[in-house]
Amino acid sequence: MATCLKLSAKKDIMEVLKIEDLKKEYISPEGEKHLVIDVPKFSVEERTQIALQGTSGCGKTTFLNMIAGILAVTQGNIFVNGENISQLPEAKRDIIRANNIGYIFQTFNLLQGYTALENLIIAMSFGNYNVDQDRAKSLLTKVGLEHRMHYVPAKLSIGQQQRVAVARALINKPKLVLADEPTGNLDAKNAQEALTLIREICDENEAALLLVSHDEKILHKFNRLQSMQEINVALQTEGQK
C-alpha cells in the first residue's frame, strides 16, 4: 500500500530590518568617547508593527537615524531588506532609504515652499519609481487631504501637516516605516487619530512599522512593545555607574 505524505511548506518570514552588534559613539569636546547606542541584536519582520518605548535622551532618535542611514554607525551591521548598509557611503545609503524606508519625523520636515502634493512628488523623485501624480493624489486623499493638496505647509494645521508626512513616508512603497514620536506635536484627539491612520496605511501598503514614543497611551496600542532600556546595552551600563 502506497503511503501518501502531505507536506506543508512553511513560508519563510522575511526580516525587513536586522541589526547585529550596533554601536554609536560620540566624542566630547574634551576628547572623551561616549557610547550612546549598543544594540547587540534587533529585528523587524515584514508587515509587523513594533513600538519602542523611550524617554528623552535615551538615544531613540539616534537609533532610528542609524537605521535610516542618516547617521553613520561606529560599529556593527544594519541590514535593510537583506542589504548591509553599515559601511556604504552616504550617497548610497540615501538611495537605499529612498527606495526601502519611509520616515515620519517628529517635526515633519516638510519642504515649506512646496505644496502637499509637491512634497510627495519630490520624495518620489529620489526613489526608483517613476513620478506618479495619481499615486500621490490617491495617498493624500487616503489621509483626508483631497481638498488641501495644493496648500503649502504654512497654510495647513499641525494635524494636516502630520498627514502629509504620513503620506510622504509611504509614497515610494517602502517595506519599513520609521516613526519618531509621530504624535508628539498633537493634542490627545489628533494623536489617537494620527496613530490609527499610520497603522492602517502601513497595513494597507504591506509596510512594517517601527514607532518610538514615550506616550503610554500610544505604546499600549501595540501587541509588540519593547523599551530602549531593554535593547540598548549602553543605557544599562550608564544606569550602573
Q: Give me the pLDDT at residue 5, please.
A: 46
pLDDT of 4 over the 70 cut: no
Q: How far is CA 177 from CA 100, 102, 211, in A?
A: 9, 4, 8
Q: Tell the burial category of 71 from Cβ atoms under 10 Å away from its Cβ (0-12, 13-18, 19+).
A: middle
Q: Give me the pLDDT at residue 217, please.
A: 87
Residue with cell 519599513: 176
Mean pLDDT of the chain: 91
Q: What percent of the chain has pLDDT over 70?
A: 93
Q: How far apart are CA 86 and CA 98, in angstroms?
A: 16
Q: Give me the pLDDT at residue 26, please.
A: 94
Q: Give me the pLDDT at residue 92, please.
A: 95
Q: Give me the pLDDT at residue 155, please.
A: 98
Closest CA to 164 of 130, 204, 203, 119: 119
pLDDT of 185 over the 90 cut: no
Tell me the domain boundaries of the chain.
15-239
Q: Give me the pLDDT at residue 6, please.
A: 45
Closest CA to 165 of 105, 100, 101, 94: 105
Q: Give me the pLDDT at residue 10, please.
A: 46
Closest CA to 210 of 104, 55, 81: 104
Q: Give me the pLDDT at residue 1, please.
A: 46
Tens-place pLDDT, residues 6-52: 444 445 679 999 999 999 999 989 989 999 999 999 999 999 999 99
Beta strands 15-27 and 33-45: pairing type?
Answer: antiparallel
More confident residue, 31 or 2: 31
Q: Give me the pLDDT at residue 134, please.
A: 96
Q: Give me the pLDDT at residue 129, please.
A: 75
Q: Give me the pLDDT at residue 226, please.
A: 95
Tens-place pLDDT, residues 70-98: 999 999 999 999 999 999 999 999 999 99
Helix 116-125 and helix 133-142: axis angle, to 10°? 130
Geometric angle at alpha carbon 14, from 229 and 210, rounded to 5°:
35
Tens-place pLDDT, residues 99-158: 999 999 989 999 999 999 999 999 999 987 788 999 999 999 999 999 999 999 999 999
According to CATH, what is the number of the domain 15-239?
3.40.50.300
pLDDT of 221 over the 80 cut: yes
pLDDT of 53 over the 80 cut: yes
Q: Give me the pLDDT at residue 239, please.
A: 52
